[in-house]
Amino acid sequence: MNLWFRLLLMLLRRPWRKPTDPLGTTVVRMRVWPLDLDLNRHVTNGRYFTLADVGRMDYVLRSGAYKVALRQRAVPIVGDVWGKFRRELKLFEAFEVHSRMLGWDDKWTFMEHRFISQGRVVGVVIMRGLFRSARGTVAPGEFIRALGLAEQSPALAPWLSAWSQSCDGLSLALREEQN
């Protein structure tokens, strides 16, 4: 199934779905279709990242983050994505994408997308991103305040902070290569 169709289906279902708290979890139910598969006949690793986009869009719409982005004329930008795959998803298998915000720092907002099938976590996609307007990057604290949350982030797990630091290190190395 084409990803645009999945996105459209998610948008069409939206009026019947309840809003969620910005620190809550949204759930999108999907099924594995032939175009999701690689040569090994299971969901290709890259498809997980794309399916996480659908879960993230659902979260942004249901949490009210899109309203804040519209007021600030900001667009979401994905900075880095990381995935952990535990079990394969096969053709026609039903699964859910559970999306939630893990927290934020002075630049990035962190989100988790858990892929769940038959009550088990089959994969996890972690994303750090931000909102950017014509004036530049919108500070996560400012964005979070506009969502009605306290500016202080929930504590970030040590592995998440270490991952973010490694992404910063890679960015720095790439900038130094270009000079």
Q: For the residues of 65-128, what is the DSSP string, one character each?
A: HHHHHHHHT-EEEEEEEEEEE-S--BTT-EEEEEEEEEEE-SS-EEEEEEEEETTEEEEEEEEE
Q: Beta 109-117 vs 120-133: how paired, if at all?
A: antiparallel
Class of domain 3-178: alpha beta
Q: Which two tokens stand for residue 151?
A: 């500016």
Q: Beta 136-138 vs 120-133: how paired, if at all?
A: antiparallel
- Domain ranges, ordered by start, for the chain: 3-178
Give the integer Cα–Cα distance in Å for 160 and 166: 10
Give the integer Cα–Cα distance in Å for 54 and 11: 10
Answer yes or no: pTM beyond 0.95. no
Q: Are 54 and 95 in contact (CB under 8 A)?
A: no
**Tens-binned pLDDT, residue by residue, of the chain (179 aa):** 457 777 676 666 666 678 889 999 999 999 999 888 888 888 989 999 999 998 998 999 889 998 999 999 999 999 999 999 999 999 999 999 999 999 999 999 999 999 999 999 999 999 999 999 999 999 999 999 999 998 899 999 999 999 999 999 999 999 999 97
Give the integer Cα–Cα distance in Å for 24 and 16: 18
Determine the straight-line distance between the first and last CA of the chain, rounded to whole angstroms.
Answer: 43
Q: What is the pLDDT of residue 102?
A: 97
